[in-house]
Amino acid sequence: MHNTASFTGAPDAGGKSAERAWADRTWQTADGLELHYRDYPGRDDRPPVICLHGLTRNARDFAELAEMIAGEWRVIVPEMRGRGESDYAKDSATYTPMHYVADVMALLADQGIERFVSVGTSLGGLMTMLIAATTPDRIAAALLNDVGPQLEAAGLERIVDYVGQGRSFPTWMHAARALEAQHKESHPGFTIDDWLAMAKRVMVLGSGGRIAFDYDMAIADPFEDADPSAAPDMWPMFEALAGRPLVLVRGERSNVLSAATAQEMQRRIPALDYVTVPNVGHTPLLTEPEAVAALDRLLAQIV
CA-CA distance, 280 to 292, in Å (whole number)?
Answer: 15
**pLDDT for the residue numbered 81:** 98
Domain boundaries, the chain: 2-160+229-300
Instruction: Look at residues 121, 33, 119, 35 and name the one whose alpha carbon lies nearest to residue 74.
Output: 119
80 touches 35 (CB < 8 A): yes
Q: Which CATH architecture has domain 2-160+229-300?
A: 3-Layer(aba) Sandwich (3.40)
Beta bridge partners of 168: 212
Q: CA 89, CA 34: separation in Å to the nearest integer?
A: 10
> Which of 206 and 51 is assigned the larger pLDDT?
51
What angle, 0 to 180 degrees and rounded to 10, lies between the N-to-C axes of helices 192-202 and 172-183? 100
- Asked whether the beta carbons of 238 and 262 are under 8 A apart, the reply is no
For 54, how many CA atoms within 13 A lie in the half-sphere containing its CB?
22
Average pLDDT, integer, range 87-99: 97
Return mean pLDDT, the chain: 92
169-192: average pLDDT: 96
Instruction: Report residue 20's pLDDT band, with 50, 70 and 90 as the boundaries.
Output: confident
pLDDT for the residue 229: 63
Q: Which of 22-31, 199-208, 227-236, 289-298 has the lowest mean pLDDT?
A: 227-236
Between residues 149 and 3, the one the model is more confident about:
149
Q: Among candidates 128, 119, 138, 83, which has minimal Cα distance to 101? A: 128
**Average pLDDT for 256-274:** 98
Query: How far from 229 is each of 97, 225, 226, 232, 263, CA to CA, in Å?
Result: 17, 12, 9, 9, 24
Confidence of residue 228 (pLDDT cuts 50, 70, 90): low
Question: Measured between alpha carbons, how far is 180 from 157 in angstroms, rounded to an integer?
Answer: 19
| Nearest in space to 259 (alpha carbons), one of 269, 268, 271, 249 | 249
The answer to whether 295 and 247 have CB atoms below 8 angstroms apart is: yes
What pLDDT band is residue 4 in, cutting at 50, 70 and 90? very low
pLDDT at 13 over 80: no
